[in-house]
Chain A
Amino acid sequence: MSRYLARFLVSRYFSSASSRPLHVCIVGSGPAGFYTADKLLKAHGEARIDIIDRLPTPFGLVRSGVAPDHPDTKNAINQFSLVAQHKRCSFYGNVKLGSDLLLSELRDLYHVVVLAYGAESDKDLGIPGERLSGIYSAREFVWWYNGHPDYSSLKPDLKRSDTAVILGQGNVALDVARILLRPTTELASTDIARHALSALEESSIRKVYLIGRRGPVQAALTAKELREVLGIKNLHVRIKETDLNVTPADEEEMKNSRARKRIYELLSKAAAAAGTSEADPDQRELHFVFFRQPDQFLESDERRGQVSGVNLEKTILESVESGKQIAVGTGEFEDLSCSMVLKAIGYKSVPINGLPFDHKKGIVPNVSGRVVSQTSGGISQNEPGLYVCGWLKRGPVGIIGTNLYCAEETVGSISEDIAEGVCTSVKAGSKGLMELLEKRNVKKVDFSGWEKIDAKEKQMGSERNKDREKLVSWEDLLAAAAS
């Protein structure tokens, strides 16, 4: 602890002694980016931070990922706005790393570059039929109903049948299930995108299956979300009682995790209650299906190229190590008909040129947030001045708050490096970035541009009794920002 204190004092001394600013660029304006900026501003009085994002709007998944019926979770935006408005911090949207500027150029302009651009791609199942129409990743579907400008024209067909299948049982799976099954009257007053609300109002989907390859003890969802679906009026939740049998390995997993235990108890209660409720033809149903893994997607005979169902293999659990069980196929199969499949099996980060990348884990290799690369001799070395935070660093797991500690760790590494004199050369910083963007005719959107978008959305929303009506196309967003 005293070593930390010594370093802290040294860096403070350097920072107050030198009036030279510390130029920092953070790529990505979601929770990871903003918590990193917040902590850097507090730790270093000489830090000047530019946060860039490829979208004209900030806040990452807080704006485009959190479900429309979870407005309280979006309160984090208020804290982030304060950071963006700090006099030593600036936000620049519509600036894309890789197209508008290169990583090497950023590293030339700034002492410290922190990559916090998350995970904008998806894990693949790698099974036959995955490219059939009607199969989407949950990420695409979420971005569609949240008005992300890249997915506004997704046009998922919700009228072909009454059944949708969701692969995965995490909170994203629950989010999409809930949006598909919630009465649209309840969604009408949220900030859901208009095109999604219209599509959902005409949707024929009444049954959603949540498929997990393991059991209820391993389900990745959390108690709050489960409690929420169990409480939705006129939504019948179906769980097979036999799926709730637990093995000694399951008991051990529950013993080590109170979250697991509480979720299992909730699912048990739900299964017992489901057994007693009567069937009603117009009701909406949510089925939890355990111990099934998808083997292939089935193609429709009447409409070639469209998905008509999923072929599932039954699984059993095998212990691989203490506290960890994996699903193993049994060779028994069954089909489940549906007209839409949403894959909620995990996000994946996107690599960029010039950046070391671990394709297996889908993250940038790092040690406590410092990016490391392999030399030709196979030795790991730190990339000076280059750091990561958030999903790009840890993989696509955790909640908004997880990034608080992630940022603390990364900023700790940055502070240590500054104290050891890693960032002493003169850099152009913000000024250099502005010149570069000007030269390349990039129409950046600063925070006041976002405030104009925000005001327009709120104004449009008030006309329809919602908090905001999102602008969903690039043209509309950029026009509002420039107005």
Chain B
Amino acid sequence: MFFHRLSRLGSRIVKELPKERYLPKCGMWSLQRSYGQYLRSSAVLQRRTRTFQEDVLSYSHKFCTSFSTASENSGKETEKINVIFVDKDGEEIHVKVPIGMNILEAAHENDIELEGACEGSLACSTCHVIVMDTEYYNKLEEPTDEENDMLDLAFGLTETSRLGCQVIAKPELDGVRLAIPSATRNFAVDGFVPKPH
């Protein structure tokens, strides 16, 4: 059973290889990791130079999580939805996000340039994303007061803006398109919000 799961992970890893991602030097260990966490491009490796120790601890935690979810679903993998990020240059990046993961984490997993200065603690607005279709925006839970407080300060705030760290992937969001605001491409519908500090 375990081997069966491993080989499925392995075949998925192999399918993903053409996407210009290479396995870091840790050899065989890589096959045992949940693929989304581990396959990283060189730019991300350069940027996120965590120690091997930290990597092992976090990956084994994630591996255990997906392992137990998989066994709960009697052999089915964690379901994923399609999310399309539209970056500052207008380019679309299609990614698959596991249900339950927040969008900030999903962006970082896929090497998408979405800042998360406060690391998801609702103390900044740098993970601001714009939901490009109102239909999808309406499917999200209402933002809390705390999220709205931070959105007030977001650069280029629009009526369909949300903080990426507060948007959790669920089946109804399959196909959602999220734009990342940019200094050179102002999506503002509200106009510039005054910026106190």
Which residue of the partner chain A has the closest CB to B125? A401
Question: In whole angstroms, how far apart are the Cα atoms of A220 and B153 in the complex?
Answer: 12
Contact of B117 among A75, A227, A258, A405 (CB under 8 A): A75
The interface residues of chain A lying within 8 Å CB-to-CB of B172 are none
Q: Which of B157, B184, B191, B196 contacts A222 (CB under 8 A)?
A: B196
Could you tell me which residues of chain A, from 55 to 91, have a CB within 8 Å of some CB in chain B? 70, 72-73, 75-76, 78-79, 82, 85-87
Please give, as numbers and ranges, the residues of chain A lying within 8 Å of B124 by CB-CB distance: 73, 76, 399-401
A220/B196 contact (C-beta < 8 A), A72-B121, A405-B155 known: yes
Q: A85-B49, A222-B149 are in contact. Are A397 and B118 (CB under 8 A)?
A: no
Interface centre among B119, B122, B153 (most CB of A within 10 A): B153
Instruction: For the complex, give the distance between the alpha carbons of A1 and B91 in Å.
Output: 11
* Docked complex: B135-192 residues within 8 A CB-CB of A: 145-146, 148-150, 152-155, 157, 181-184, 190-191
Interface pick from B40-48, B68-76, B99-107 = B40-48
Assembly CA distance A13 to B175 (angstroms): 35
Does chain B have a CB within 8 A of A259?
Answer: yes
Give the shortest distance, in Å, between A132 (CB) and chain B (any CB): 28
Nearest-neighbour CB distance to chain B for A2, whole angstroms, equals 11
Across the interface, do B197 and A401 meet the contact criterion of CB distance under 8 Å? no
Q: For the side of the interface on B, what is the size category?
A: 35 or more
Task: Check B123–A223 contact: CB distance below 8 A.
Answer: no
The answer to whether A402 and B150 have CB atoms under 8 Å apart is: no
Contacting B190 at CB < 8 Å: which of A224, A257, A402? A257
Q: With A5-B89, A398-B197, A409-B184 as given contacts, are A404 and B115 in contact (CB-CB < 8 Å)?
A: yes
Residues of B within 8 A of A396 (CB): 197
Query: Within 8 Å of chain A (Cβ to Cβ): is B194?
Result: yes
Q: Check if B119 sits within 8 Å of A75, measured CB to CB.
A: yes
Say whether B90 contacts A1, CB under 8 Å: yes
Residue A156 at the chain B interface, CB threshold 8 Å: no
* Closest Cβ–Cβ distance, residue A30 to chain B (whole Å): 12
Give the CA-CA distance A123 to B118 in the complex, in Å. 30
Q: B193: CB under 8 A from chain A?
A: yes
A1-B90, A404-B126 given as contacts; is B197 within 8 A of A170 (CB)? Answer: yes
Nearest-CB distance from B97 to chain A (Å)?
22
B19 at the interface (CB under 8 A from A): no
- Known contacts A42-B43, A224-B146, A259-B152; decide if A399 and B115 are in contact (CB<8 Å): no
- With contacts A72-B118, A73-B118, A82-B48 taken as known, whether A397 is within 8 angstroms of B145 at the C-beta atoms is no
Q: A73-B124, A170-B197 are in contact. Are A258 and B155 (CB under 8 A)?
A: no
Q: How far is the CB of A69 from chain B (nearest CB, A)?
A: 12
- Taking chain B's interface residues, is the majority helix, strand, or loop, or is none over half, making it mixed? loop
Contacting residue for B196 out of A1, A5, A221, A227, CB 8 A: A221
B195 at the interface (CB under 8 A from A): yes
Q: CB-CB < 8 A to A256: which residues of B?
A: 190-191
CB distance from A252 to the nearest CB of B (A): 12
Given contacts A82-B49, A401-B126, whether A227 and B149 have CB atoms under 8 Å apart is yes
Q: How far is the CB of A49 from chain B (nearest CB, A)?
A: 14
- Inter-chain contacts of A85 with B (CB < 8 A): 49
A262 lies within 8 A of chain B by Cβ? yes
Which interface residue of A78, A258, A397, A399 has the most chain B CB atoms within 10 A? A399
Contact of B197 with A171 in the complex, beta carbons under 8 Å? yes
Task: Output the nearest chain B residue to A61 by Cβ-Cβ distance.
Answer: B197
| Binary per-residue interface labels of chain A (400-417) against chain B in the complex, 1 for a CB within 8 Å, 0 otherwise | 111011101100100000
User: What residues of B have a CB within 8 angstroms of the CB of A271 in the complex?
Assistant: none
Report the nearest B residue to A73, measured CB to CB.
Answer: B123
Query: A82-B49, A224-B146, A224-B150 given as contacts; is B183 within 8 A of A400 (CB)?
Result: no
CB of B197 within 8 A of CB of A397, answer yes
**Cα distance A259–B146 in the bound complex, in angstroms:** 13
Does B49 contact A222, Cβ atoms closer than 8 Å?
Answer: no
Q: Which of B43, B49, B195 interacts with A397 by CB under 8 Å?
A: B195
Q: Is A172 an interface residue (CB 8 A)?
A: yes
Contacts known (A78-B119, A258-B152); A408 close to B195, Cβ less than 8 A = no
| CB pair B184 A412 closer than 8 Å | yes
Q: Which of B118, B148, B150, B182 has a CB less than 8 Å from the CB of A76?
A: B118
Known A-B contacts A1-B90, A259-B152; the reply to A412 vs B195 at CB < 8 A is no
B residues at A contact (CB < 8 Å): 43, 46-49, 88-90, 115, 117-119, 121-126, 145-146, 148-150, 152-155, 157, 181-184, 190-191, 193-197
List, sorted by A's number, 26 A–B pairs whose CB atoms are closer than 8 Å: A4-B89, A5-B89, A42-B43, A73-B118, A73-B124, A75-B123, A76-B118, A170-B197, A220-B194, A222-B153, A223-B149, A224-B150, A227-B146, A227-B149, A257-B191, A257-B193, A259-B193, A262-B148, A262-B149, A396-B197, A398-B195, A402-B195, A402-B197, A404-B117, A404-B155, A409-B183
Q: Known pairs A227-B149, A399-B124. 12 more at Cβ < 8 A? A: A42-B43, A72-B122, A72-B123, A75-B123, A85-B49, A171-B196, A222-B152, A400-B124, A401-B125, A402-B197, A405-B155, A405-B182
